Amino acid sequence: MPELIAGRNSVLETLRSGRSVNKVYVAQGSREGSIREIIALVKERGIPLQESDRSVLDKLTAERHQGVVAEAAPYEYVEVEDIIKKARDRGEDPLVLILAELEDPHNFGAILRTAEAVGVHGVIIPKRRGVQLNATVAKVSSGAAEYVPVARVPNLVNAVEKLKELGLWISGADMEGDSSLWAANLTGPLALMIGGEGRGIPRLLKEKCDFRTYIPMKGVISSLNASAAASVLLFEVLRQRSKMGE
């Protein structure tokens, strides 16, 4: 089934990424700001453009569409090996994010946005018992979903074993971890694992981690949500890698 992408930033990045788009709907009278760029790209790529009343766009999607909706081809998932190849082709140590049973699409979208900003080479999610790529994820990611490859695997434990065979270290985010992320070495080929909301990383996956790190906190709240934790961890990886490159 086609995927409906709503919102100016999301539609614009979908078009820029080269993803196959079947049709773009624009609200009648919308020509200001980024809408002009969207229309120009639509015409340049020969994509059918339909001007419709805003009520039509309201019926197409429950998302806040800002006067534009794109009907795009379904998201294409990649293989784990494709993610590692992307890093190797760039001459970089692989940085992979593993999302273990994450369920909130808003968290997923926010994580993808941070992952793109930090330079994550790809994200791995399970085929079942976890959120998938969808329109809500794309909207929250502000277009990052178009640029961060996502592999969907039947078994995360097997995927972790494959990453280890490919030379990656596995680090799990865990409030009862071995060391704080400030003390951990997060350079080199690395896969960061983030657990699901409220449950954390499942036991079998936790046992597969080479080491586990926690985020030091001074407040009363004992944990961050998945997207906030991922942001803290990923920017610490970026800091350490940037320091190594100095």
pLDDT digits (tens, 9 = 90+) for 100-116: 989 899 999 999 999 99
Query: 12-40: string of b/e by CB count within 10 Å (b at 16+)?
Result: bbbbeeebebeebbbbeebeeeebeebbe
Separation CA 145–CA 17 (nearest Å) = 10
Stretch 201-210: mean pLDDT = 92
Q: Which among 126, 121, 133 has a CA at the least distance from the CA of 81?
A: 121
Q: Name all domains of the chain by residue range, CATH numbers in brackets.
A: 3-72 (3.30.1330.30), 80-244 (3.40.1280.10)
Separation CA 183–CA 180 (nearest Å) = 5
Instruction: Copy the structure tokens of residue 65.
Output: 């569409």
pLDDT of amino acid 126: 93
pLDDT of amino acid 222: 67
Does pLDDT of 1 surpass 70? Answer: no
Does pLDDT of 131 surpass 70? Answer: yes
Does pLDDT of 246 surpass 50? Answer: no
Does pLDDT of 239 surpass 60? Answer: yes
105 and 136 in contact (C-beta within 8 Å)? yes
Q: What is the pTM of this model?
A: 0.82
Percent of the chain with pLDDT over 70: 98
pLDDT of amino acid 7: 86
Q: How many CB atoms lie within 10 A of CB 186?
A: 21
Separation CA 39–CA 157 (nearest Å) = 45
Rounded to 5 degrees, what angle do the CA atoms 196, 213, 229 make?
45
Instruction: Copy the structure tokens of residue 115.
Output: 């992952």
Strands 68-72 and 21-27: antiparallel
Counting every residue, how long is the chain? 246
Which residues are 171's β-sheet partners? Answer: 192, 211
Cα-Cα-Cα-Cα torsion 187, 114, 121, 63, nearest 10 degrees, comes to: 160
The helix/strand count (H/E) of the chain reads as 9, 11
Stretch 49-65: mean pLDDT = 88
